[in-house]
C-alpha cells in the first residue's frame, strides 16, 4: 500500500511538472519592466498627490438594480444613461435612482455618448463589445454602423469620444481577449489594442494607432487637436496628435500612474481619470519574466494576481503649453469599501457631481465635486 501511494504521488508530481512546463499557457505573455510604482494609492509621487479623500460614504445611485454599469452619459432629458452586462441600456433618474429600460443592444454596451452633429446627430453612439459601433435613435431603433477597420474585425470596443463634427474616436481594447478576461490582458501585457476613427459621412473606419496596451478610455482635447487614450496595462495616458506640426504622431501624456487607468472625461476645471484599481506589487514583480507569467496563468484563476480592491479618481490639469504638457496630478479620491463600486471604470462630471461607473458593482457612484 505504501509503495502504491508513493508511486501515485510520483506520477502526480510528474504530471504536474509536465503540465507546468509543457502544456501551453492560456496567455502569450510579454516581458516588460514597469517603472518604480508610487508608494501607495494617493501616496507621494510626481503623479500621485498626497491629499486624499476616502469614498466609503460615496452615494450609490440605483444600488442593487444595475449589473456592471461601466460607463455613463448624460441625456438631454436629464437622465443618466448606462449600459449593463445583460445588453440593456437603461436610463436612471439622478434623484431617486429609478431605472427605466431604454433599449437592448443584443450585445455588451460599454462606452456611450450622444452625437452633437453629423448624420447621427442626437443619436446615442455606443461602443458595444460584441456588436461594434452602434447608433441608437431616440425611439430606440438600433443601427450597426461598423464592425471592422479595413479588413480587421474589432476585438472589443471599450469607449468612444465624439468630435464637434460627429467624428467618432474609439478604443478597440483587445483583439485577443473579451471584456471578462481583462486579467489575461493585464498579465499578457502585449499591445493587443488600437485607436480607431469612424467617419459617419463616409461610413469608413480607420486605425489611427496600432499596438496599444489595453486601451480603454478615450478623450478629445478641447480644440480637438489631439486625443488621449488610457493604456491600462502600462499605467499611462498616451496622446495622439490629430492636427498641427506633430499630426500623426503620438507621445506619452502621463506616465507612472498609481493604478490601472480606464475611462477619461473632461470636467469644468479638470481632466478626470477613473483608476479601476491600485497597482499590484505581485503583478509588477512578475512582468519582467514572461515565462513565470505563463506558469502563473496555468493556475486556477482564483490564484492569479490581478486588480486589488478599491479604485480611485484622479484629477488633472493640463498645462497651457500643449507642446510640452504632460499633465499634472492634483487630487485623488480613493475607494476602499467596494460594497457597490468594485473597481471604478469611468467618471463623468454632470451638474457639479461626479458619476462613477464600476467594473463589477451594482450601482452608479455619485460624489459631490
Query: Residue 13 — pLDDT band, cuts 50, 70, 90?
Result: very low
Residue 4 belongs to a domain: no
DSSP string for residues in 45-83: BTTB-S-EEE-TT-EEETTTT-S----EEE-TTSPEEEE
The per-residue pLDDT for 119 is 94
User: Beta 259-266 vs 157-162: how paired, if at all?
Assistant: unpaired
Q: Residues 18-25: what's their mean pLDDT?
A: 58
Q: Yes or no: say if 357 and 347 are a contact pair by the CB < 8 Å rule.
A: yes
**CA-CA distance, 241 to 136, in Å (whole number)?**
29
Locate 254 and state its grid cell. 502621463
Confidence of residue 369 (pLDDT cuts 50, 70, 90): confident
Give the residues across from 72 on adjacent strands: 82
Predicted pLDDT at 150: 87
Nearest partner of 327 among 48, 51, 49, 47, judged by Cα: 47
Query: Per the structure, how many domains does the chain have?
Result: 1
Asked whether residue 350 is assigned to any structural domain, the reply reads yes
CA neighbor of 343 nearest in space, from 357, 329, 363, 354: 357
Is 80 inside any structural domain? Answer: yes
The three state secondary structure string of 159-205 is: EEEECCCCCEEEEECCCCCCHHHHHHHHHHCCCCEEEEEEECCCCEE
Contact between residue 192 and residue 135 where contact means Cβ atoms under 8 Å apart: no
Task: Name residue, grid cell 507621445.
Answer: 251
The answer to whether 11 touches 249, Cβ cutoff 8 Å, is no
> Range of 143's domain?
45-368
The confidence band for 300, taking pLDDT boundaries of 50, 70 and 90, is confident
Looking at residue 2, what is its pLDDT?
A: 60
* H-only helix segments in 219-316: 281-286, 290-297
Q: Is the pLDDT of residue 364 over 90?
A: yes
Predicted confidence (pLDDT) at residue 332 exceeds the cutoff of 70: no
- Give residue 302's pLDDT: 81
Distances (CA, A) of 55 to 296, 312, 335, 356, 364: 33, 9, 5, 11, 13
Q: Are 262 and 217 in contact (CB under 8 A)?
A: yes
In a domain, 40, yes or no: no
Sequence-ordered list of residues with C-beta below 8 angstroms from that of 300, at least 6 positions apart, any chain: none
Under a CB-based contact definition with an 8 Å cutoff, are residues 341 and 361 in contact?
yes
Selection from 226-235, 253-262, 302-311, 332-341 with the highest mean pLDDT: 226-235
High-pLDDT (> 90) share of the chain, %: 61
The pLDDT value given to residue 336: 61
Q: Is residue 12 assigned to a domain?
A: no
Question: Among 47-51, 81-85, 180-184, which is the least confidently predicted range?
Answer: 47-51
- Which pLDDT band holds residue 37 (cuts at 50, 70, 90)? low
Give mean pLDDT, residues 69-77.
96
pLDDT value for 11: 43
Residue 183 inside a domain? The answer is: yes
Residue 164, domain CATH: 2.120.10.30
26 within a domain of the structure (yes/no): no
Band of residue 8 on the pLDDT scale cut at 50, 70, 90 = low
Distance CA(23)–CA(276), nearest Å, equals 32
Lowest-pLDDT choice from 36-45, 169-178, 218-227, 297-306: 36-45
Amino acid at each position: 500500500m505504501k509503495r502504491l501511494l508513493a508511486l501515485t504521488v510520483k506520477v502526480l508530481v510528474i504530471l504536474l511538472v509536465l503540465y507546468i512546463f509543457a502544456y501551453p499557457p492560456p496567455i502569450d505573455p510579454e516581458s516588460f519592466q514597469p517603472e518604480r510604482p508610487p508608494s501607495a494609492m494617493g501616496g507621494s509621487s510626481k503623479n500621485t498627490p498626497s491629499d486624499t479623500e476616502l469614498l466609503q460614504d460615496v452615494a450609490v445611485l440605483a444600488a442593487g438594480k444595475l449589473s456592471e454599469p461601466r460607463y455613463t452619459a448624460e441625456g438631454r432629458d436629464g437622465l443618466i444613461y448606462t449600459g449593463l452586462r445583460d445588453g440593456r441600456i437603461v436610463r436612471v433618474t439622478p434623484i431617486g435612482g429609478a431605472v427605466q429600460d431604454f433599449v437592448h443592444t443584443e450585445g455588451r454596451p460599454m462606452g456611450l455618448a450622444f452625437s452633437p452633429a453629423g448624420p447621427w446627430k442626437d443619436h446615442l453612439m455606443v461602443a458595444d463589445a460584441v456588436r461594434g459601433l452602434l447608433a441608437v435613435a431616440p425611439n430606440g431603433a438600433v443601427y450597426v454602423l461598423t464592425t471592422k477597420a479595413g479588413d480587421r474585425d474589432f476585438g472589443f470596443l471599450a469607449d468612444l469620444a465624439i468630435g464637434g463634427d460627429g467624428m467618432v474616436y474609439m478604443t478597440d481594447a483587445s483583439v485577443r481577449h473579451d471584456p471578462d478576461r481583462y486579467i489575461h490582458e493585464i498579465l499578457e501585457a502585449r499591445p493587443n489594442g488600437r485607436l480607431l476613427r469612424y467617419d459617419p459621412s463616409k461610413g469608413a473606419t480607420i486605425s489611427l494607432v496600432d499596438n496599444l496596451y489595453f486601451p480603454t478610455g478615450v478623450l478629445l482635447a478641447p480644440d480637438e487637436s489631439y486625443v488621449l487614450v488610457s493604456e491600462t496595462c502600462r499605467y499611462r495616458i498616451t496622446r495622439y496628435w490629430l492636427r498641427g506640426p506633430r499630426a500623426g504622431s503620438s507621445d506619452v501624456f502621463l506616465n507612472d500612474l498609481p493604478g490601472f487607468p480606464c475611462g477619461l472625461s473632461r470636467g469644468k476645471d479638470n481632466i478626470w481619470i477613473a483608476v479601476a484599481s491600485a497597482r499590484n506589487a505581485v503583478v509588477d514583480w512578475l512582468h519582467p519574466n514572461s515565462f513565470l507569467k505563463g506558469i502563473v496563468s496555468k493556475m486556477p484563476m482564483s490564484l492569479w494576481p490581478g486588480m486589488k480592491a478599491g479604485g480611485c479618481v484622479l484629477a488633472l490639469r493640463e498645462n497651457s503649453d500643449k507642446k510640452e504638457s504632460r499633465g499634472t496630478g492634483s487630487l485623488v479620491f480613493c475607494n476602499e469599501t467596494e460594497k457597490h463600486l468594485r473597481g471604478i471604470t469611468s467618471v463623468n462630471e454632470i451638474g457639479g457631481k461626479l458619476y462613477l461607473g464600476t467594473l463589477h458593482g451594482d450601482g452608479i457612484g455619485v460624489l459631490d465635486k
